[in-house]
Amino acid sequence: MKFSDFICEKAIRAQLGADNKRDVIDELVDSLLEAGEISADEKADIIAAIMKREELGSTGIGRGVAVPHTKHAGVGKLVGTVGVSVAGVDFNSLDGEKVQLFFLLISPPDRPGDHLRALENISKQLRGETFCRFLKQSRTAEDIRQLLEEADASQFSG
As measured in angstroms, the least distance from the Cβ of 42 to other proteins is 22
- Smaller CB distance to other proteins: residue 127 or 139? 127
Query: Cα separation of 1 and 72, whole Å?
Result: 20
| Burial classification of residue 72, based on how many CB atoms lie within 10 Å of its CB (0-12 exposed, 13-18 middle, 19 or more buried) | middle
Task: Write the interaction track for other proteins spanning residues 16-55; mark x where CB under 8 A is met and - where it is not.
Answer: ----------------------------------------
Nearest to 140 by CA among 86, 99, 64, 60: 86
Task: Write the interaction track for other proteins spanning residues 124-153; mark x where CB under 8 A is met and - where it is not.
Answer: x-xx--------------------------
Q: Which of 119, 130, 149, 152 binds other proteins (CB under 8 A)?
A: 119
Please measure the distance between the N-terminal and C-terminal CA atoms of the chain and give it in whole angstroms.
18
Query: Cα separation of 146 and 151, whole Å?
Result: 9
- Give the residues across from 79 on adjacent strands: 106
Rule CB under 8 A: say whether 109 interacts with other proteins.
no
Q: Which of 11, 12, 61, 99 binds other proteins (CB under 8 A)?
A: 61
